[in-house]
Structure 1
């Protein structure tokens, strides 16, 4: 983040608002170049190790394209 944060006020504002560590579940919206818009449900699971690693699963709703 270093140089970006010192030169771009908008980047700093958006970076500080991005709840990376607090988002445990939700929907991730992507745009695939062939398939088009995709909405994937995600869930974050903390692993029972001192490493702090997390497992994030993404799933598509049944019947979705």
Structure 2
């Protein structure tokens, strides 16, 4: 699944995102609203990852959603 599909199904995906990255709050998930760039930034902020690490985690997450 590519990120465009994740973005389009964001309301349905929020539960999976929350399960994967529990440090993200419901308010942050609402603010992200499916935006890959915002999601990457929040993961960097919450988990101390580099942009590359966050992007790889997002790619992995999207690949595992089917």
TM-score by shorter chain over 0.5: no
Higher strand share: 1
- Name which structure has the greater RCO, CA cutoff 8 Å, separation 6+: 2
Higher helix share: 2
TM-score where L is the length of structure 2: 0.22
TM-score where L is the length of structure 1: 0.22
